[in-house]
């Protein structure tokens, strides 16, 4: 949620900040801005809209054109703001010279406090214009702080929670005359979550960063250094980074990086070397990240599974869970949000079926506040692509506080969730940029299958022949997805007939019901078509009233034992006029075709593994529907990739 990038060095900061923000736009994209420090003065350029709007505004200023050409109505650049005064853009065009700064901070926003507009965009300035701040997260006590600051004569311009940070830093700076101390004092007063970038015109060689519950990294360069919310933003400049811990404050100059912990003690961090390629975070010729990421599914599943099957056995080196521990736990909880939660619902059925341990699933935002009955006899499995989802992170902390052991399934190495878990099983999906999660979901399912098989082996709950056959089939899943992707045009053609649908239902039984939840989420988040997922047998208890002539129903029917039941459910909706798209294994295609209008086949596969492959046609369907509707597939409205606010 929101992206931050900062630079200090010898080069012009604007291009570096803008390139970094482009890589972070998936984190939020309703407004953007930069603050540059040059010759002891801070210039801010910010505006509502996508980064392209900010780019246009910067070009306008650089070319020296007047604000009448710019189309901007209000204050956009504040090179030197007096206490409480805002300079209008027309007064500021002569500030073009200040955009040459070699220190700067940039921000792309996903609004939480205050609508997306020019004024609410970041960076925010202190009243004297001396201090500029970018922020990601939510300052929960901002009203209290604002009241105090107003009583001290501060004038607020925006509706954001962030603006209190700029004023508070200035308040303490005025008192102690030391910027680092002022930032430390400020973050001490903040409740909630923050990742911050701070510059001050009295400190022409300093960039300060701080974080709590929102991700922030420091990039190490030669004669230059960086801060960013996520690695792709600075990967073209450096592969060596420091991962900031909660309450760390980092002080960067061109040549040095000092990191202080919560107690103000200087700490020595280990350098984390990023070994994946910048290509992995770019579109590589695909029209959208989402398509690129779906096409990567075979490869990343192979990577997630491959090295963990050794000599026909599952070997999870990173997990130290013993048979004795498993024998002594009462229950497993799986906790996550969104797509990761849907993976958890599949995981529940896999673990219960294979390892015979009871599993409860919870949406993280509910788990945290429902006073769960949980103790040291419980294992909590946390699932998260980003490893930074705040609800999930707080659920993890709640579980640990109550004595549970935490195993996390995470994609981003070194993320907060990974660092705070007792055991981590990484999905090797690589960077996922499209807001709609695709390859991360398949790899989460693959990882959950590994966990279920590992637990089953350790508990002896599965006979060897069955265990071996699932392991062997798991290795074939990437090829199955390859075939599904190869035939994707069929799904595109079907979508072309239905992209004007107003409401679409997804139904399935057992694992197919869990899968339907994900199919439905994918469709609604990127195509904005209303959609619901229902258990096949549950429709007749109410929801079937919504089926009328032409209503589209997507039916997953990959579970052998429930196939006939699903045929009956399809007949029920067909009898009310529904148009049915069925997804099933090749061997059932003919039977499915007798009742459905369109059958998407997946290669024959063990029903327990079927969701890993059967989700791909659903993702493709959502994708084509959204593209045909002209939606912004990679950046759907109102959403952000990484949800680091509650
Ligand atoms: C999926 O398409 C969504 N964008 C969203 O539901 C996502 O899965 C959820 O926010 C959890 O994110 P995480 O896996 O990074 O924790």
Mutate to test the pocket of ligand 1, among 110, 229, 337 (most ligand atoms within 8 A of CB): 337
Could you identify the atom of ligand 1 that is nearest to the CA of residue 639?
Answer: 4
Same domain, residue pair 325 and 413? yes
- 244, 275, 306 - which closes a domain: 275
Q: Has residue 431 got a pLDDT over 90? A: no
Q: Looking at ligand 1, which residue's alpha carbon is closest to its atom 5?
A: 338
| Of residues 353, 291, 299, 309, the one with CA closest to residue 477 | 299
> Considering 233, 253, 275, which residue would you say is the last residue of a domain?
275
Q: Is 95 a residue whose pLDDT tops 60?
A: no
Q: Is residue 79 part of a domain?
A: no
Q: Are residues 104 and 205 in the same domain?
A: yes
Q: Is the residue at 151 inside a domain? A: yes
Ligand 1 atom closest to residue 521's alpha carbon, by position in its atom list: 2
Say yes or no to pLDDT of 90 above 90: no
Q: Does 17 share its domain with 110?
A: yes
Lowest mean pLDDT among 37-51, 504-518, 546-560: 37-51
Please give the mean pLDDT across all residues of the chain: 91
In which band, very low, low, confident or very high, does the pLDDT at 73 lie, cut at 50, 70 and 90? very low
Q: Is 385 in the pocket of ligand 1 (CB under 6 A)?
A: yes
Domain holding 561: CATH number?
Answer: 3.40.50.10490
The answer on 303 and 184 residing in a single domain is: no
Residue 192 DSSP class: B
641 included as an active-site residue: yes
Based on the domain organization, do 323 and 271 belong to the same domain?
Answer: no
Model confidence band, residue 641 (pLDDT cutoffs 50, 70, 90): confident
pTM recorded for the entire structure: 0.78
Same domain, 402 and 503: no
- Render pLDDT for 396-413 as a digit per residue (tens, 0 to 9): 999 999 999 999 999 988
**Is residue 119 one of the residues assigned to a domain?**
yes
Q: Is residue 641 part of a domain?
A: no
Domain that holds residue 602: 486-634
Domain match, 270 and 230 both: yes
- Dist. CA 485–CA 491, nearest whole Å: 10
pLDDT at res. 518: 98
Q: For residues 418 and 343, state if they share a domain.
A: yes
What atom in ligand 1 is closest to the CA of residue 385?
14
Q: Answer yes or no: 222 catalytic.
A: no
Residue 134 CA to residue 311 CA, distance in Å, equals 51
Predicted confidence (pLDDT) at residue 87 exceeds the cutoff of 70: no
- pLDDT on residue 141: 93
Mean pLDDT for 361-378 is 95
Residue 185 maps to a domain? yes
Question: Per the domain annotation, does 470 fall within a domain?
Answer: no
Token pair for residue 149? 């600051």
The rounded Å distance from CA 632 to ligand 1 centre is 18
**Total Cβ atoms within 10 A of residue 413:** 17
Query: Do 203 and 338 reside in the same domain of the chain?
Result: no
**Shared-domain flag, residues 174 and 297:** no
- Answer yes or no: is the C-beta of 184 below 6 A from any ligand 1 atom: no
CB-CB contact of 623 with 633 (8 Å): yes
Q: Which residues of 73-101 are buried (b: 16+ CB within 10 A; e: fewer)?
A: eebbbbbbbeeeeebebeebbebbebbeb
As a whole number of angstroms, the distance between CA 249 and CA 231 comes to 18
Residues 244/270, Cβ–Cβ less than 8 Å: no
Expressed in angstroms and rounded, the spacing between residue 431 Cα and the centre of ligand 1 is 13
Domain assignment present for residue 173? The answer is: yes
Distance CA 475, CA 143 (A): 55
- CATH code, 197: 3.60.20.10
392 pocket-lining for ligand 1 (C-beta < 6 Å): yes
Q: Check pLDDT > 60 for residue 130.
A: yes
Number of domains the chain is built from: 3
Arithmetic mean of pLDDT, 99-107: 91
Please identify, among 217, 243, 275, the residue that sits at the C-terminal boundary of a domain. Answer: 275
Atom of ligand 1 lying closest to residue 641 CA: 4
For residue 437 and ligand 1, the question of a CB distance below 6 A is answered with: yes
pLDDT at 201 over 60: yes
- Check residue 85 and report its DSSP letter: -
112 lines ligand 1 (CB under 6 A): no
Closest protein CA for atom 4 of ligand 1: 436
**In the predicted structure, residue 574 carries a pLDDT above the cut 80:** yes
Instruction: Quote the ligand 1 centre to 335 CA distance (angstroms).
Output: 12
Is 158 part of a structural domain of the chain?
yes
Going by alpha carbons, the residue nearest to atom 16 of ligand 1 is 384
Nearest residue to 427 (alpha-carbon basis) of 436, 435, 417: 417
For residue 85, the model assigns a pLDDT of 40
Stated length of the chain: 646
Asked if residue 254 and residue 227 are part of one domain, the reply reads yes
569 CB near ligand 1 (under 6 Å): no
CB distance 432 to ligand 1 below 6 Å = no
Alpha helices in 533-609 (DSSP H): 563-574, 589-593
Identify whether residues 297 and 430 lie together within a single domain.
Answer: yes
- The pLDDT assigned to 39 comes to 84
State the DSSP code for 134. Answer: E
Question: Where is pLDDT greater, at 480 or 64?
Answer: 480
> pLDDT grade, residue 82 (50/70/90)?
very low
Is the Cβ atom of 337 under 6 angstroms away from ligand 1?
yes
578 lines ligand 1 (CB under 6 A): no
């Amino acid at each position: 949620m929101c992206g931050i990038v900062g630079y200090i060095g010898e080069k012009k900061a604007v291009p570096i900040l803008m390139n970094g923000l482009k890589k972070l736009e998936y984190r939020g994209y309703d407004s953007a801005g930069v603050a540059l420090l040059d010759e002891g003065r801070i210039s801010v350029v910010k505006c509502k809209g996508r980064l392209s709007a900010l780019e246009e505004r910067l070009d306008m200023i650089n070319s020296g054109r007047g604000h009448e050409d710019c189309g901007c109505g209000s204050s956009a650049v504040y090179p030197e703001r007096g206490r409480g005064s805002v300079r209008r853009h027309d007064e500021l065009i002569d500030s073009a010279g200040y955009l040459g700064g070699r220190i700067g901070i940039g921000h792309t926003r996903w609004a939480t406090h205050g609508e997306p507009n020019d004024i609410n965009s970041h960076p925010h300035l202190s009243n004297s214009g001396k201090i500029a701040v970018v922020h990601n997260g939510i300052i929960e006590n901002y009203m209290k702080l604002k009241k105090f600051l107003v009583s001290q004569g501060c004038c607020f311009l925006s509706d954001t929670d962030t603006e209190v940070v700029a004023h508070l830093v200035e308040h303490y700076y005025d008192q102690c005359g030391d910027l680092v101390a002022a930032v430390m004092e400020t973050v001490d007063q903040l409740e909630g979550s923050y990742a911050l970038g701070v510059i001050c015109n009295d400190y022409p060689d300093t960039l300060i960063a701080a974080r709590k519950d929102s991700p922030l990294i420091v990039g190490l360069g030669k004669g230059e250094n960086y801060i960013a919310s996520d690695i792709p933003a600075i990967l073209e400049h450096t592969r060596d980074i420091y991962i900031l811990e909660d309450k760390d404050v980092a002080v960067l100059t061109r040549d040095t990086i000092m990191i202080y912990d919560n107690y103000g003690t200087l700490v020595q961090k280990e350098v984390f070397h990023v070994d994946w390629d910048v290509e992995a975070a770019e579109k590589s010729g695909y029209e959208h990240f989402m398509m690129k990421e779906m096409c990567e599914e075979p490869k990343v599943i192979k990577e997630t599974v491959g090295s963990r099957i050794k000599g026909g056995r599952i070997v999870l080196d990173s997990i130290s869970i013993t048979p004795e521990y498993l024998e002594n736990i009462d229950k497993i909880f799986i906790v996550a949000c969104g797509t990761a939660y849907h993976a958890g619902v599949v995981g529940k059925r896999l673990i219960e079926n294979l390892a015979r341990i009871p599993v409860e699933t919870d949406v993280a935002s509910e788990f945290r506040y429902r006073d769960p009955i949980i103790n040291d006899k419980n294992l909590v499995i946390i699932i998260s692509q980003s490893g930074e989802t705040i609800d999930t992170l707080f659920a993890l902390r709640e579980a640990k506080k109550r004595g549970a052991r935490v195993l996390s399934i995470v994609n981003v190495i070194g993320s907060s969730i990974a660092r705070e878990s007792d055991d981590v099983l990484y999905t090797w999906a690589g960077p996922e940029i499209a807001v709609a999660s695709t390859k991360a979901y398949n790899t989460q399912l693959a990882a959950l299958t590994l966990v279920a098989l590992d637990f089953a082996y350790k508990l002896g709950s599965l006979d060897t022949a069955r265990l071996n056959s699932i392991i062997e089939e798991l290795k074939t899943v990437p090829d199955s997805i390859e075939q599904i992707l190869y035939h994707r045009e069929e799904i595109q053609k079907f979508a072309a007939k239905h992209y004007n649908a107003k409401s679409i239902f997804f139904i399935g039984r057992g694992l197919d019901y869990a899968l339907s939840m994900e199919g439905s989420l994918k469709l609604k988040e990127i195509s904005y078509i209303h959609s619901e997922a229902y258990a096949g047998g549950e429709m007749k208890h109410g929801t079937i009233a919504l089926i009328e002539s032409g209503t589209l129903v997507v039916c997953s029917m990959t579970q052998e034992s429930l196939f006939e039941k699903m045929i009956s459910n399809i007949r029920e909706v067909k009898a009310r006029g529904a148009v049915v798209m069925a997804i099933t294994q090749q061997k059932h295609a003919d039977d499915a075709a007798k009742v459905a209008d369109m059958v998407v086949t997946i290669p024959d596969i063990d029903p327990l593994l079927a969701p890993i492959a059967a989700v791909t046609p659903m993702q493709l369907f959502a994708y084509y529907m959204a593209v045909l509707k002209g939606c912004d597939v990679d950046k759907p409205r109102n959403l952000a990739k990484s949800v680091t606010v509650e």
